[in-house]
């Protein structure tokens, strides 16, 4: 009898057991995220690096070469895998779409936080949310049926190229940059604006000299998020860019980005072949760029915090 | 120039830019609905698609999208709920926790094509699942997990500490506090997050092209045996979704009426996204009111 009571008193209660179980299970799910992220990096890096150590492609030639035909070998016996056209195009469409989208995103952000009436805000907000949610294939379809024929009629040629890709990406990254800019502007304390106005600044002066400055790290972060989305966008770009692996000559010559090449070719190559390895190297570049954008955001956020103090 | 004039000019320019964007956005939505909706009919939604001939519908693609969404949510909600609870409630403020949070940011910003290729490599090829609904649903989980986890973590963190202390003061364990007090309090936010991410999943194509595949074998909706290849419930069959269908129609160009079908399918996609957005707001507000007893 005593032993029974002792056991009951000393053994953990039902609540304690639940607590332990809950903590363990939730920890395992969190740990799963670690495993998952590393699995993605390891698997893609493993295949992506094969091009360099197994297929004897020189990394420098891979990054700067302009001829892409990994099935064939050049005079030195190395596969012809020059990814420069795709890397250059990817960077170009990303930068140019961000350059066009940023002023508009800033204007909408400022308008929503500083000028708009409550009613206008109630219309603009859901509209931006809706546009964040429009699937990329829909943008691609619109680009293909409206923009490409428009380009063909205006500039001649096929109509495919960097320009329609930039315009499609403009619509895709605009809501991303806008909503993050709005958050950054909203986070600036009202007292900053009041102080500027009290000193006799006009509304625009208070926005331009005070609010923008204070929100700058947040705005930069928003732009980088937009660029990261543009760099990684696959289908919408693939549908309007033309998909020929040539250095872009002008804004309406058919070319190819990293993502468009991956989308259209990975299913056409055999696992383990040189062609396939080369495509995985492109995927690895995408992955590394995504990590780079992440580091950049971290750096800016840290900098912003230090300046704030 | 006079500062007053600059002030005025700046305001005008901003108004014009906002106006341009607003008009463009309305035009886009208008174009899709105007070209797409007249093609819409009950028939279009409920007849199978055609590979080459004109007059195909989107029955199987629509079902595949819905089925994939349900499966992806069934897998990703419990996982992200666990991870979110751990990060918000149990995780000590140490390097490991910050590390996990960093990884979540990295995961959520990965291009969806990279996630799709990972799914292709690991699920389709290594685990030999082939192009199947299951591969697609698991890949969508990778895509959805980081977003939902941070949504749940943030929702839990926004609950005031008094509520936690209240629970603990009543002699509840932390687990009981989470289950009985914190989670019910955050249900509106979690539901809003889930519904919004559903919209993203529904329209996702890049992650699915090489995981759930690009073909939609004809389904027999009377066959409920999940092991039969023509059963809509079978998870091992290849399944082209609505978004993938639009992409394929426009890149392969075999179907004669590709434009009409894609316009109609795009209109369906947009309406679903719109529906999810409205639902998220409505449910969020309604549950909030119900749970907090406010007006």
| Residue pair B86/A30 in contact by the 8 Å Cβ criterion | yes
CA distance A103 to A142: 23
Nearest-neighbour CA in chain A from B290: distance (Å): 23
Backbone angle region of A200, left / alpha / beta, with phi > 0 → left and psi within -120 to 50 → alpha: left
- The partner residue sitting opposite A140, judged by closest CB among B82, B83, B247, is B247
Could you tell me the mean pLDDT of each successive run of 10 residues in chain A, 309 residues long? 82 86 93 94 93 86 87 82 91 95 95 91 87 90 91 86 93 94 93 92 91 92 95 92 84 89 87 89 94 93 71
Q: What is the homologous superfamily of the domain A84-268 according to CATH?
A: MetI-like (1.10.3720.10)
By the CB < 8 Å criterion, does A308 face chain B? no
Nearest-neighbour CA in chain A from B44: distance (Å): 18
Burial-class residue B94 by CB neighbours within 10 Å (0-12, 13-18, 19+): exposed
What are the structural domain ranges in chain B?
Answer: 40-292
Q: Which of B76, B117, B118 to mutate to test the interface with A (most CBs of A within 10 A)?
A: B117
Q: How far is CA A112 from the centre of its chain?
A: 24
Contacts of B10 in chain A (CB under 8 A): 204, 207-208
Nearest-neighbour CA in chain A from B229: distance (Å): 23
Angle at which helices A118-133 and B183-203 pack, to 10 degrees? Answer: 60
CATH of region B40-292, choose from 1.10.10.10, 1.20.140.10, 1.10.3720.10, 3.40.50.300:
1.10.3720.10
Q: Which DSSP helix (H) or strand (E) runs through A72?
A: strand A68-73
* Interchain CB distance below 8 Å, A107 and B25: no
Contacts of B14 in chain A (CB under 8 A): 107, 110-111, 115
Looking at residue A3, what is its pLDDT? 82
Q: Which DSSP helix (H) or strand (E) runs through A90?
A: helix A84-110
* Interchain CB distance below 8 Å, A262 and B209: no
Q: Count A/B contacts: CB-CB distance under 8 Å.
A: 241
By the CB < 8 Å criterion, does A154 face chain B? no
Looking at residue A309, what is its pLDDT? 44
Contacts of B211 in chain A (CB under 8 A): none
* Interchain CB distance below 8 Å, A239 and B247: yes
Label residue B56 by pLDDT band (50, 70, 90): confident
CB contact set of A249 (below 8 Å; sequence gap of 6+)? none
Contacts of A25 in chain B (CB under 8 A): 82
Question: Nearest CA to A83 among A71, A95, A67, A94?
Answer: A67
Question: Nearest CA to A280 among A40, A21, A36?
Answer: A40
The tens digit of pLDDT for each residue in A188-236 reads 999 999 999 999 999 999 998 999 999 999 999 999 999 999 999 999 9
* Interchain CB distance below 8 Å, B205 and A18: no
Q: What is the ipTM of this complex?
A: 0.90
Read off the tokens for B47.
Answer: 């007849």
Q: Which DSSP helix (H) or strand (E) runs through A81?
A: strand A79-81
* Interchain CB distance below 8 Å, B114 and A44: yes
CA distance B283 to B295: 15
Burial B235-259 (b: 16+ CB within 10 A, else e): bebbbbbbbbbbbbbbbeeebebbb
| Residue pair A109/A182 in contact by the 8 Å Cβ criterion | yes
Contacts of A283 in chain B (CB under 8 A): 113-114, 117
* Interchain CB distance below 8 Å, A228 and B109: yes
CA distance B147 to A55: 38
Q: Closest residue of A to B150, CA-based?
A: A30
Mean pLDDT over residues B23-52, rounded?
Answer: 82
The tens digit of pLDDT for each residue in B243-261 reads 999 998 888 777 778 888 8
Question: Nearest CA to A292 among B284, B23, B106?
Answer: B106
By the CB < 8 Å criterion, does A262 face chain B? yes
pTM above 0.80, yes or no: yes
A242 DSSP 8-state letter: B
* Interchain CB distance below 8 Å, B82 and A26: yes
CA distance B54 to A200: 68
The tens digit of pLDDT for each residue in B174-210 reads 999 998 889 988 988 898 889 889 988 999 999 999 9
By the CB < 8 Å criterion, does A146 face chain B? yes
Half-sphere exposure of residue B181: CA atoms within 13 angstroms, side-chain side: 21
Which residues pair with residue A81 across a beta bridge?
A68
Looking at residue A126, what is its pLDDT? 85
- The partner residue sitting opposite B266, judged by closest CB among A21, A33, A138, is A138
CA distance B177 to B166: 9
CA distance B240 to B251: 15
Query: Tokens 């055609």 belong to which residue?
Result: B50
Query: Tokens 């957005």 belong to which residue?
Result: B277
Read off the tokens for A10.
Answer: 């000393």
């Amino acid at each position: 009898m005593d032993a029974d009571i002792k056991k009951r008193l000393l053994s953990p209660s039902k609540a304690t057991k639940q607590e332990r179980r809950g903590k363990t299970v939730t920890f395992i799910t969190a740990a799963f995220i670690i495993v998952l992220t590393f699995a993605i990096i390891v698997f893609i890096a493993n295949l992506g690096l094969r091009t360099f150590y197994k297929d004897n492609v020189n990394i420098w030639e891979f990054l700067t070469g302009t001829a892409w035909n990994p099935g064939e070998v050049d005079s030195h016996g190395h596969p012809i895998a020059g990814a420069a056209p795709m890397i250059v195009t990817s960077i170009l469409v990303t930068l140019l779409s961000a350059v066009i989208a940023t002023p508009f995103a800033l204007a909408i952000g400022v308008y929503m936080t500083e000028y708009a009436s409550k009613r206008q805000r109630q219309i603009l907000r859901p509209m931006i949310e809706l546009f964040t949610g429009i699937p990329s294939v829909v943008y691609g379809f619109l680009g293909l049926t409206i923009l490409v024929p428009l380009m063909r009629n205006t500039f001649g040629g096929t109509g495919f190229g960097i320009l329609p890709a930039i315009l499609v990406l403009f619509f895709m990254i605009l809501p991303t940059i806008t909503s993050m800019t709005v958050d950054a502007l909203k986070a600036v304390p009202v007292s900053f604006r009041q102080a500027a106005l009290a000193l006799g600044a006009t509304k625009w002066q208070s926005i331009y000299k005070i609010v923008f400055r204070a929100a700058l790290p947040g705005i930069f972060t928003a732009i980088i998020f937009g660029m990261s989305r543009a760099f990684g966008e696959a289908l919408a770009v693939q549908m309007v860019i033309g998909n020929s692996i040539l250095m872009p000559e002008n804004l309406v010559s058919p070319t190819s980005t990293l993502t468009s090449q991956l989308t259209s070719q990975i299913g056409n190559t055999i696992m383990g072949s040189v062609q396939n390895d080369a495509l995985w190297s492109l995927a690895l570049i995408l992955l590394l760029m995504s990590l780079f954008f992440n580091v950049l955001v971290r750096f800016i956020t840290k900098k912003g915090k230090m300046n704030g103090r | 120039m006079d500062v007053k004039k600059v002030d005025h000019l700046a305001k005008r320019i901003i108004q014009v830019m906002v106006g341009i964007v607003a008009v463009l956005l309305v035009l886009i939505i208008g174009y899709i609905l105007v070209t797409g909706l007249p093609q819409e009919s009950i028939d279009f939604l409920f007849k199978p698609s055609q590979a080459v001939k004109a007059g195909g519908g989107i029955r199987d693609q629509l079902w595949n999208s819905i089925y994939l969404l349900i499966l992806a949510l069934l897998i990703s909600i419990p996982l992200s709920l666990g991870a979110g609870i751990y990060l918000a409630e149990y995780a000590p403020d140490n390097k490991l926790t910050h590390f996990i949070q960093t990884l979540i940011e990295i995961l959520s910003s990965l291009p969806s094509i990279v996630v799709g290729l990972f799914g292709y490599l690991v699920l389709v090829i290594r685990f030999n699942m082939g192009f199947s609904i299951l591969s697609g649903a698991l890949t969508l989980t990778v895509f959805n997990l980081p977003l939902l986890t941070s949504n749940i973590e943030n929702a839990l963190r926004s609950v005031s500490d008094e509520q936690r202390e209240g629970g603990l003061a009543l002699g509840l364990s932390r687990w009981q506090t989470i289950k009985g007090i914190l989670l019910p309090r955050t249900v509106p936010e979690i539901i809003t997050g889930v519904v919004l991410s559903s919209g993203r999943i529904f329209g996702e194509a890049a992650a699915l092209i090489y995981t759930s595949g690009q073909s939609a074998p004809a389904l027999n909706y009377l066959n409920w045996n999940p092991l039969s290849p023509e059963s809509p419930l079978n998870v091992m069959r290849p399944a082209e979704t609505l978004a993938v269908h639009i992409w394929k129609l426009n890149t392969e160009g075999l179907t004669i009426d590709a434009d009409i079908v894609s316009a109609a399918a795009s209109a369906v996609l947009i309406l679903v996204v719109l529906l999810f957005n409205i639902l998220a707001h409505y449910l969020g507000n309604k549950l909030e009111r119900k749970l907090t007893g406010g007006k």
